[in-house]
Chain A
Amino acid sequence: MGVSSRLKKSFQKFLQRPGTTVDLAPLRKRLPAIEALEEELKELDDAELTERAGKADDFTEICAVGREAARRGLDQRPYDEQVLGVMALLSGKVAEMATGEGKTLTAAIASYGHVRQGRGPVHVLTVNDYLAARDADWMRPVLTLLGLTVGSVTEASTPEERREAYGCDVTYVSVSEAGFDYLRDQLVVDIDDRVQRELATAIVDEADSILIDEARVPMVLAGTVPGEQDPVHAAAGLVKGLKATRDYEIAEDGRSVAFTTDGTARIEKELDGIDLYADENFDQLAALNVALHAHALLHRDVDYIVRNGVVELVDESRGRVAQRRRWPDGLQAAVEAKEGLTATSEGEVLQTITVQSFIALYKTVCGMTATAVLVGDQLREFFKLEVAVIPPHKPNIREDLPDRILATRQEKEDALVKEITEAHESGRPVLIGTRDVKESESLATALEAAGISCVVLNAKNDAEEAAIIAEAGKRGAVTVSTQMAGRGVDIRLGGSDEADHDEVAELGGLYMIGTGRFDSGRIDDQLRGRAGRQGDPGTSVFYGSLEDDLIVRNANDMIPPSPHMDLDGVVTDERVDYAVGHAQRVAEGVGHEIHRNTWRYNVVIEQQRVALSERRERLLTSEVAADMLKSKFPDETGEIDDEVLNKVSRSIALFHLDRLWAEHLAYLSEVREGVHLRALGKLDPLDEFHRSAVPAFGKIMPEIEDRTVDTFAEIDEVTDSWEPAEANLVRPSATWTYLVHDNPFGSELDRLIAAVGRRLVTGGK
């Protein structure tokens, strides 16, 4: 690069212009060379190809060999665009590739490239177990031809299976499982129990979903706490009889609920006139609050489903059952009590890490998704990742129709049924994306009533996804799904065998109908992307009603009382269009804010975790603990065999270290809960949080030593019988007690102006 372009680049970086994406020109230049090399490789037989694969070094060779292997292994020659994607991934970027462009194969070749360039082992992080297993099996032929070993990890894998899978060159694993294994490895007492090797390279599939949407929720390793009472069932019973607005109020943003004075009085009467706010009734109060939250804010078939007698959470952004997730702090038990199931026990937090920090542990990170540019700024801010937009192989000819908004929910449903019937009559396949499980089922019922047979795919039957989705492009298919249809198995026209491809294309291709805008424009785009893959024709349209949650919650005051409508009842008012866009932007803004706050408050916790884990590493691998005990108890330790002493001292010290860390995490979450109040004293909540977190951590180290010494003094007989309790991984759901903004009161200036504004506005009326 010349001096002037280098200056220009560094100046641009200085200005930090948002919205820039990676320049693909230098990568494109290699394409002819890659093609030329391919011609050569066609001559080699399989064994020779593998040998050649073991020697490839630079991008050109890697891409050429990878392409040839894909051609032989899968009978698919990767397009130029996929090769560009491979190179982008090898450069550590996030590649934006449209649906159906063949991201999986791109990732496989890129894994090979990473290994060749010395950055192995590679973890391909997927959204769930099913995809991890499927992708591993699918890509195995290609990777084996390239001389690599492939493994996959699912929730059901045993520790030996995991160790084996992680021992391969390329491991396909879901983010949750990878995080789980990492956290569990951090708690082992014997270094041979570890399953993972180093964290070298991560290729993140559905990068925006994992890195941005999931990043709001930390990964938590929770251990069971023995002997818990169950005030939850009693509380659930009490709360059931309460009425909204009279006994409890739901906050405007729909994120929290509280008893009114009436409600509190009613409950206190039920409980024989106790004072709920007295010190001794604190647990009772907490149980009631949690039960109220479960009763008023969490709805069946919207936020969770009940399957096989178990409450399973539905991931809001993906519409699938969220793997390894439960609500924290007794909320899960409250929901179970509400549904009349036995309450599963709560765990205490043993270890925690955010998705962000976990990904940051990898030396190299890259990823791919169909919707990256929309979160490009966030990717840069939190992960220092740049986005490379790879153009589609065949230009996109999908028709995106403008939104159709009706006045009421019923009208919307009627219009939907009418539209679907029309499309179905011609034989055109229709895919409907609804907001939640409930809506999908009610729409399916309405369609059945209108005489249209349809297939439903939602969180309840997500195991059948492959079978159902693959056939969604068949002639005459009507598939009602939630947003889970947006990502995953490819939808080909004419069904998975593409038998009627041309016929369906004649009819106009897949018709994607959304029943309402989602909380994020990305989810909308993902759904749209299902129609019109690889240059196929297709149409997409979003319906909506003025009664939709999104609008009611975020833009209610912006809807004019009598908007302009056309003869079919479709609203054509500009103001409403703006309001809908605004509502979505607000929802996205909220998501971003939660993400930012999760991240900011986690920075210091992560540093402490790293510092402590280094200490733990030393305890685990050296004699430090034994030495310390020897110096404090020279007589007693003299009698014990060195080997045994090592093991026992290590166990004791590690046990106390883990316990103290768990207590520290609990303390920090308590501080976090109330730190926003300090904004009232013109203090910065984040600084105050640090001010509490750091000294508390400083006390841990000496405390470990003290407790170890005490425990050792107490044991009579030294055997190696120290076993900490079994640990289970469980991910808490959305940060339900944490505020969106860490300073809900606003700065002093905000409050002053709000006060003035109040007077102005009310005084004027």
Chain B
Amino acid sequence: MLSAFLSAFRTPDLRKKLLFTVAIIAVYRLGATLPSPGVSFSNVQKCIDIMESGATSGVFSLLNLFSGGALLSLSVFALGIMPYITASIILQLLTVVIPRLEQLRKEGQSGQAKITQYTRYLTLGLAVLQSSAFVALARSGQLFSNQCDQFPIVPENTGLPMWITLVALVITMTAGTGVVMWLGELITDRGVGNGMSVLIFTSIAARLPSEGWAIKESRGWAWFIAVLALVLLVITLVVFIEQAQRRIPVQYAKRMIGRKMYGGTSTYIPLKVNQAGVIPVIFASSLLYLPQLILQFFDQNDPGPVQSWVQNNIVDPASWIHIVIYFLLIIFFTYFYVSITFNPTEVAENMKKYGGFVPGIRPGKPTADYLDFILSRITLPGSLYLGVISILPNFFFIWLDNNQFQNFPFGGTAVLIMVGVGLETVKQIESQLMQRNYEGFLR
């Protein structure tokens, strides 16, 4: 992977693209740390310190992870890329429901351009909603679960009426979202890799140095090195499994050509071991957040026996029951998600349409059954692997006996996403390199 980057730097074309991407990332990080008008930076810092030393809820830590710490500090780019992703998903869902949108999609590039435009408008709309919600939460102190009320993030004593400050905040964060959207597209067009993925990667990776340092500060060098070694091991494992694929050979009999045997492996369906990606983990986390949400409705200061039991055994990330439930949920969701996104019948139909078949198996239903069989067998190790990687951070809670590391970026979702994006980007760079390596080609 390193050699790919080095060769990339030697090619002027690619070097420009890489540097461009780095520049955009820098702009993004700048905006993520720039506080919005009306927000008291010092108070935010104090609150974050308080939060890091107390217990926090799962979803907020996940959100904070995705935004690279920008969310809690209400910076200009606080909302990050999430509104755009949400808007894309919403619009894609709407395409199924609203016939007009589906027609647009069929019209090829011009129709797609219109849909993209709608997505952008929707993003801004969502950004307004989300920023208002967060500003309200910040005002009421809920953002930090009421642990930080003595240091209001949006102080009252600025000399301006409160409503102006709040409106300014909302407008700033919405505009920030617009800019982030543009930055993502710039990277996709003129830089390296897929803009949105690169930005998510940046957000997650931004936490690494501070978290790592926090470990060293609290536990000393020995722990730090051990954690680092473990992390490298995990990353290697993830890369290894992410690349693993079962290849199903396919032959096409649509054309009559003077057939030479090209080794027979040039056409195949690659079934990944981890076909589902990181989504099942997200589903499982969200589901496991429910008990905590329910608990909020009860009186916090006087928990009954049921609430206590739930709190200590299901909600607490260090409890064994929580870990087991989490693991099982992940396995379940992996199978579920794979079954939804990979439709063996549709694939078999498509193959049949273009005259392809798996050697030895008749096209149509027999092929669909065969694909189904292979897929279900390969999903088992994939789901186990996902489960194991995801529950690693929880072990840290147990061993370190401390809730400092709820934003632990060294396990679970974080690693999966980072490795995924990293691999994707490197593949793209490699592919671009391959196209350009004819410079030194002639003898």
Interface residues of A (CB under 8 A from B): 225, 228, 232, 251, 256, 258, 261, 264, 277-279, 282-283, 285-287, 289-290, 293, 328-331, 333, 346, 348, 554-555, 557-558, 582, 585-586, 588-590, 592-593, 603-604, 607-608, 611, 614-615, 663, 666-667, 670-671, 673-675, 677-678, 680-684, 686-687, 690-692, 694, 701, 737, 739, 744-745, 748-757, 760-761
Q: Which of B96, B347, B353 touches A251 (beta carbons < 8 Å)? A: B353
For B92, B256, B269, B428, which residue has the most chain A Cβ atoms within 10 angstroms? B256
Q: How far is the CA of A604 from the CA of B356 in the complex (A)?
A: 25
Q: How far is the CA of A687 from the CA of B96 in the complex (A)?
A: 29
Mask: chain B, 103-122; 1 = CB below 8 Å from A; 0 = not: 10011111100000000000
Chain B residues lying within 8 Å of A330, measured Cβ to Cβ, are 255-257
A287 touches B270 (CB 8 A): no
Q: Which of B96, B108, B355 touches A588 (beta carbons < 8 Å)? A: B108
B355 touches A586 (CB 8 A): no
Chain B residues lying within 8 Å of A258, measured Cβ to Cβ, are 352-355, 363
Residue B250, interface by CB 8 Å? yes
Chain B residues lying within 8 Å of A691, measured Cβ to Cβ, are 430-431, 434
Chain B residues lying within 8 Å of A686, measured Cβ to Cβ, are 431
A607-B438, A739-B354, A752-B341 known; A289+B269 contact, CB < 8 A? no
Chain A residues lying within 8 Å of B431, measured Cβ to Cβ, are 684, 686-687, 690-691
Chain A residues lying within 8 Å of B441, measured Cβ to Cβ, are 611
Chain B residues lying within 8 Å of A671, measured Cβ to Cβ, are 266-267
Residue B364, interface by CB 8 Å? yes
Q: How far is the CA of A757 from the CA of B105 in the complex (A)?
A: 15
A-B contact pairs, 11 of them (CB 8 A): A258-B355, A290-B254, A290-B255, A554-B106, A588-B107, A670-B266, A674-B267, A677-B270, A691-B434, A757-B97, A760-B97
A615-B442, A755-B340 known; A682+B256 contact, CB < 8 A? no
Chain A residues lying within 8 Å of B438, measured Cβ to Cβ, are 607-608, 611
Chain A residues lying within 8 Å of B356, measured Cβ to Cβ, are 674, 677
Residue B232, interface by CB 8 Å? no
Chain A residues lying within 8 Å of B256, measured Cβ to Cβ, are 232, 283, 286-287, 290, 329-330, 333, 346
A283-B256, A614-B442 known; A589+B108 contact, CB < 8 A? yes
A749 touches B92 (CB 8 A): yes
A674 touches B350 (CB 8 A): no
A681 touches B245 (CB 8 A): yes
Interface residues on B, range: 35 or more
A225-B258, A558-B103, A751-B341 known; A760+B96 contact, CB < 8 A? yes
Q: How far is the CA of A691 from the CA of B258 in the complex (A)?
A: 24
A748 touches B341 (CB 8 A): yes
A593 touches B271 (CB 8 A): no
Residue B381, interface by CB 8 Å? no
Interface residues of B (CB under 8 A from A): 88-89, 92-93, 95-97, 99, 103, 106-111, 245, 250-260, 262, 266-272, 275, 277, 337, 340-343, 346-347, 350-357, 359-365, 427-428, 430-431, 434-435, 437-438, 441-443
Q: How far is the CA of A673 from the CA of B364 in the complex (A)?
A: 19
B267 touches A677 (CB 8 A): yes
A285-B253, A674-B268, A751-B341 known; A589+B110 contact, CB < 8 A? yes
Chain A residues lying within 8 Å of B442, measured Cβ to Cβ, are 611, 614-615
Q: How far is the CA of A146 from the CA of B357 in the complex (A)?
A: 64
B359 touches A279 (CB 8 A): yes
A277 touches B277 (CB 8 A): no
A589 touches B107 (CB 8 A): yes
Chain B residues lying within 8 Å of A684, measured Cβ to Cβ, are 427-428, 431
A756 touches B340 (CB 8 A): yes
Q: Which of A283, A608, A663, A753 touches B93 (beta carbons < 8 Å)? A: A753
Q: Determine chain B's interface SS by DSSP, over half rule.
A: mixed
Chain A residues lying within 8 Å of B360, measured Cβ to Cβ, are 277-278
Chain A residues lying within 8 Å of B342, measured Cβ to Cβ, are 680, 751
Q: Which of A287, A586, A675, A760 touches B106 (beta carbons < 8 Å)? A: A586
Across the A-B interface, the 5 shortest Cβ-Cβ residue pairs: A589-B108, A330-B256, A757-B96, A674-B267, A681-B270
Q: How far is the CA of A750 from the CA of B343 in the complex (A)?
A: 12
Q: How far is the CA of A478 from the CA of B267 in the complex (A)?
A: 55
Chain A residues lying within 8 Å of B437, measured Cβ to Cβ, are 694
Chain B residues lying within 8 Å of A232, measured Cβ to Cβ, are 256
A328 touches B255 (CB 8 A): yes
B95 touches A687 (CB 8 A): no
Q: How far is the CA of A713 from the CA of B272 in the complex (A)?
A: 48
Q: How far is the CA of A737 from the CA of B254 in the complex (A)?
A: 7
Q: Which of A278, A593, A681 touches B269 (beta carbons < 8 Å)? A: A681
Residue of A nearest to B247 (CB): A681
Q: How far is the CA of A263 from the CA of B421 in the complex (A)?
A: 46
Further 12 A-B residue pairs, CB within 8 A, beyond A753-B96, A760-B96, A760-B97: A277-B363, A289-B254, A289-B255, A558-B99, A589-B111, A673-B254, A677-B269, A677-B270, A680-B270, A681-B270, A684-B428, A751-B341
Chain A residues lying within 8 Å of B340, measured Cβ to Cβ, are 751-752, 755-756
Q: How far is the CA of A557 from the CA of B99 in the complex (A)?
A: 10
B435 touches A607 (CB 8 A): yes
A673 touches B267 (CB 8 A): yes
**A246 CB, nearest partner CB in chain B, Å:** 15
**A322 CB, nearest partner CB in chain B, Å:** 20
A687 touches B428 (CB 8 A): yes
B271 touches A681 (CB 8 A): yes
For A674, A684, A691, which residue has the most chain B Cβ atoms within 10 angstroms? A674
A755 touches B341 (CB 8 A): yes
**A298 CB, nearest partner CB in chain B, Å:** 14
Q: How far is the CA of A287 from the CA of B356 in the complex (A)?
A: 14
Q: How far is the CA of A512 from the CA of B49 in the complex (A)?
A: 79
Q: How far is the CA of A63 from the CA of B343 in the complex (A)?
A: 65
A289 touches B96 (CB 8 A): no
Q: How far is the CA of A608 from the CA of B364 in the complex (A)?
A: 38
Chain B residues lying within 8 Å of A557, measured Cβ to Cβ, are 99
B253 touches A682 (CB 8 A): no
Chain B residues lying within 8 Å of A586, measured Cβ to Cβ, are 106-108
B107 touches A582 (CB 8 A): yes
Chain A residues lying within 8 Å of B443, measured Cβ to Cβ, are 701
Chain A residues lying within 8 Å of B343, measured Cβ to Cβ, are 751, 755
Q: How far is the CA of A604 from the CA of B432 in the complex (A)?
A: 10
Q: How far is the CA of A520 from the CA of B355 in the complex (A)?
A: 29
Q: How far is the CA of A588 from the CA of B109 in the complex (A)?
A: 9
B357 touches A674 (CB 8 A): no
Residue of A nearest to B248 (CB): A677
A593 touches B270 (CB 8 A): no
Chain A residues lying within 8 Å of B341, measured Cβ to Cβ, are 748, 751-752, 755
**A231 CB, nearest partner CB in chain B, Å:** 8
B354 touches A692 (CB 8 A): no
Chain A residues lying within 8 Å of B354, measured Cβ to Cβ, are 256, 258, 673, 737, 739
A674 touches B250 (CB 8 A): yes
B434 touches A694 (CB 8 A): yes
**B212 CB, nearest partner CB in chain A, Å:** 30
A258-B355, A348-B258 known; A680+B435 contact, CB < 8 A? no
Q: How far is the CA of A684 from the CA of B193 in the complex (A)?
A: 12
Q: How far is the CA of A382 from the CA of B262 in the complex (A)?
A: 33
**A122 CB, nearest partner CB in chain B, Å:** 30
Q: How far is the CA of A683 from the CA of B93 in the complex (A)?
A: 23
